[in-house]
Chain A
């Protein structure tokens, strides 16, 4: 199985497209169905968009992983932006501080199987999500 790791620097809205396209290709290589690859690409798009909207720059890391349930994909979105003061609030549907729809994080959580977020105000945010192959 491929263990290659892909890094995509996120500096502009164009990089959102690059990140989700690379994610879709990796998902295909890992044997995900095209439907699941679409869910993964959509989640990457939202995570990359959060970086552009809130932190301006950051990075998306994509990696094939092996777990007890089989093959999966790990997506890590990290930035050195302003961070999130109230994570619980940020995970609620409809909450946004950037004037967007505010569906980003709860939506991403629904698209993927595992969701982890760490954030320090003033230091940055890291969101790690996983999806396992059916």
Chain B
């Protein structure tokens, strides 16, 4: 299952689906970094609203995506972690330390627009 990556100005938006396998996540990691390079994007928003399970592999992949993108000089914001998913992540001992998060896509865009002083 492929994750659609949308280009919105200086930002990229990747929207996760519910049933992503490890292989899908690995593919997305490479795809996102390549697109950041191609479009010289300033930031990436990863929308995980549809994800019903965030296990150790998924959260590690998200952290890796954020770190790789930071090495490119761009920023990552994870948006839409559902309340029960957040609860399960904490129980499991998973953290997204050092990675920006926002409530939803709108908040994520607002955060980035403010940060990069972009007026739409």
Interface residues of A (CB under 8 A from B): 13-14, 16-17, 20-21, 24, 34-35, 38-39, 41-42, 45-46, 49, 93, 100-101, 103-104, 106-108, 110-111
* A48 → B minimal CB distance (Å): 9
- Pick the contact of B93: A17, A49, A103 (CB < 8 A): A103
- Pick the contact of B88: A16, A49, A111 (CB < 8 A): A111
B93 in contact with A46 (CB, 8 Å): no
B55 contacts partner chain A, Cβ-Cβ < 8 Å = yes
How many A-B pairs fall under 8 Å by CB? Answer: 72
Over the window 2-20 of chain B, the binary record of Cβ atoms lying under 8 Å from chain A Cβ atoms (1 yes, 0 no) is 0000000000000000011
Can you list 15 contacts pairing A with B, beta carbon distance less than 8 Å? Answer: A13-B22, A16-B21, A16-B22, A38-B84, A38-B87, A39-B87, A39-B88, A42-B53, A42-B88, A49-B56, A49-B57, A100-B56, A101-B56, A107-B93, A110-B92
Q: Name the B residues within 8 Å of A20 (CB-CB).
A: 53
B84 in contact with A17 (CB, 8 Å): no
Over the window 76-100 of chain B, the binary record of Cβ atoms lying under 8 Å from chain A Cβ atoms (1 yes, 0 no) is 0000001111011101111000000
B53 in contact with A103 (CB, 8 Å): no
Size of the chain B interface, CB-CB below 8 angstroms: 23
Give bound CA distance, A93 to B94, whole Å.
11
* B80 → A minimal CB distance (Å): 14
The listed residue with most A CB atoms (<10 A of its CB), out of B20, B54, B89, B91, is: B91
* A10 → B minimal CB distance (Å): 12
Give bound CA distance, A21 to B57, whole Å.
16
Give bound CA distance, A24 to B60, whole Å.
22
A38 in contact with B56 (CB, 8 Å): no
Give bound CA distance, A41 to B88, whole Å.
10
B71 contacts partner chain A, Cβ-Cβ < 8 Å = no
